[in-house]
Amino acid sequence: MYKIIGADGRQYGPAGADQIRRWLAENRLNAHSLALPEGATEWKPLHT
């Protein structure tokens, strides 16, 4: 599960990989949106 900061600057989640793929298809997210995996402390761009 991940928390996401979308292209609109809003936080979404927790969400799984399937939901994230849907949000990418809907342009709610892009490669520069930030993701925080469950248990992590550092936000990283989705493209990494």
Q: What is the pLDDT of residue 48?
A: 58
Burial label for 24, CB within 10 Å (0-12, 13-18, 19+), is middle
Domain boundaries defined on the chain: 2-45
pLDDT tens profile 4-48: 998 889 999 999 999 999 998 988 898 889 999 999 999 999 885
Whole-structure pTM value: 0.79
Taking 3-state DSSP, the helix, strand and coil percentages for the chain, each rounded to the nearest 5, stand at: 20, 30, 50
pLDDT at 31: 84
